[in-house]
Chain A
Amino acid sequence: MKRTQDHLGLTTAAQSSRPPGTDGVWTFVFIDMIIFLMMFLSFMTERLRHGALYAASQLRLNEFFGLANTLILLTSSWMVVEAVQAARRNEVRRVRRFLGLAWMLGLAFAVDKFVEYYLKIRAGVTPATNSFYSFYFFITIVHFFHVIAGMFFIAYCRGNARLRIGSERYVTGLENVGLFWHFVDVLWIFIFPLLYLVGRR
């Protein structure tokens, strides 16, 4: 589709054909993915050494907390996709609505995680309990910080939507936020089976 742009950088076509996001964010996300791959590798290596302990510890996790968080993040990812598409069409109300929903779902993820941590700690389970729980808390807390960062970026884009909608820079920025948010979702797609499901009887 042909795209025209005036001196202020305003995009007038419904959708551009350029690649989504910027190379810098694709690179940043990929480096972060490699770090998580190393964490998963370390977890599986320890699991090999302490199979019985890991199986017993995993049984004390409630998989329905993980399931709820998976469905929440998948839905929020969908909302962000809709927001990006709306931004390409310069539909400010839809952008704000979908980003608002995505942010609320991020908050729901945080509440679910806090309840899960609270119940674990109240039951006497801490990162010091054993190596399975060290990994459980470390991996999920590092992931949780990514969720919080993503929520901040989403709120920033939503706050700027009215002023900056229509500029190519805004669309690219929102695409970058989308890339990051989907990456957070992809991580959880693997964290859920890794910690809660694989090997569960």
Chain B
Amino acid sequence: MELRWHSPAVVWCMLCGLTLLSVALVEEGWHRSFASVVIVLIAAVKSRLVIVRFMEANRAARHWRFLYVTWNFAVAATIIIGYVVSVAKYAG
């Protein structure tokens, strides 16, 4: 079986690797605020991979791809902004 970078098996390996990296950032005691933002960004990358490669949004009508990728951005922004504001609030 030919393995290309966008084949399902390779995408799955990337998704698992990114998941383990997220947990490692917490377990290895990175700076909490920095690690939290990076973890959400990693989740956004993983989600985009699933939307584009597994759901095949790249083959769907253009508006679906736009809406799904925008949703992905909105969720990541909601979590990051909420977290950063709470850190700033309790640090102050």
- A residues with CB within 8 A of B: 19-21, 23, 26, 30, 33-34, 36-37, 40-41, 44-45, 47-48, 51-52, 63, 67, 70-71, 74-75, 77-78, 80-82, 85, 178-179, 182-183, 185-186, 189-190, 192-194, 197-201
23 interchain pairs, CB-CB under 8 A:
A19-B61, A36-B75, A37-B75, A44-B86, A47-B86, A48-B86, A48-B89, A51-B89, A75-B12, A81-B54, A178-B54, A179-B55, A186-B72, A189-B46, A190-B76, A190-B79, A197-B23, A197-B36, A198-B39, A198-B40, A199-B36, A199-B87, A200-B26
User: Which of A36, A51, A178, A193 has the largest count of B CB atoms less than 10 A from its CB?
Assistant: A193
In the bound complex, CA of A186 to CA of B20 (Å)? 16
Interface of B is mostly: helix
Contact with A along B40-52 (1 / 0, CB 8 A): 1011001100110
A37 touches B39 (CB 8 A): no
A186 touches B47 (CB 8 A): yes
B36 touches A78 (CB 8 A): no
- B residues with CB within 8 A of A: 8-9, 11-12, 15-16, 19-20, 22-23, 26, 32, 36, 39-40, 42-43, 46-47, 50-51, 54-56, 59-61, 64, 67-68, 71-72, 74-76, 78-79, 81-83, 85-87, 89-90
**Nearest chain B CB to A140's CB is how many angstroms away?**
16
